[in-house]
Structure 1
């Protein structure tokens, strides 16, 4: 689904995919800032990837999902292991879909909270 994309280069793996909920994980290693901490932009990429996949599934065949707004609040750092994101649909309409994305570390501590809105269009 995502070969030769940013998600592929960042090591994102999908664990569960549906229109209502998308779960994926990403390694911290290789996605850090110079201080060895998970890069905030990497968290945003994970969030947008998971939410966009959910929105595309919601949109259905012959339609596409395009991100139009994302925000992210970074609560704590991660230095090793994997972070897991859970994107939960908040709104699923004909032209817009919005997802709440919670990213946690391996101890279940919240690393980032994000919200993504995608515009749904005909392909």
Structure 2
């Protein structure tokens, strides 16, 4: 079974007494969130990893069909994700936040998640 270190609500590794592992469905949910929040070129070991958040997504007039396609591809290509059932994008232009809500099918069943990007 796939597993990794559990991250806190700020998406940081928990060090010390709170350190624990995450597996199964929780691992898949955490992995999807990490992949969605990774900026293209952010990781020096693999500059092809990530999404073009600053060049194609969080721009003045984004092409929402392109954005949805990029996000769908990212979710679907995540290990243990079998299919994306639905996806909803809500762009809050005033606060510069894109909320990505989706339902997906994984090796461990259905799950829903909401991943906000942007803001302060």
**TM-score between both structures, scaled by the size of structure 2:** 0.35
Structure in which a larger fraction of residues adopt helix: 2
Which protein shows a greater Rg?
2
Q: Quick one: higher RCO (CA 8 Å, sep 6+), 1 or 2?
A: 1
Structure in which a larger fraction of residues adopt strand: 1
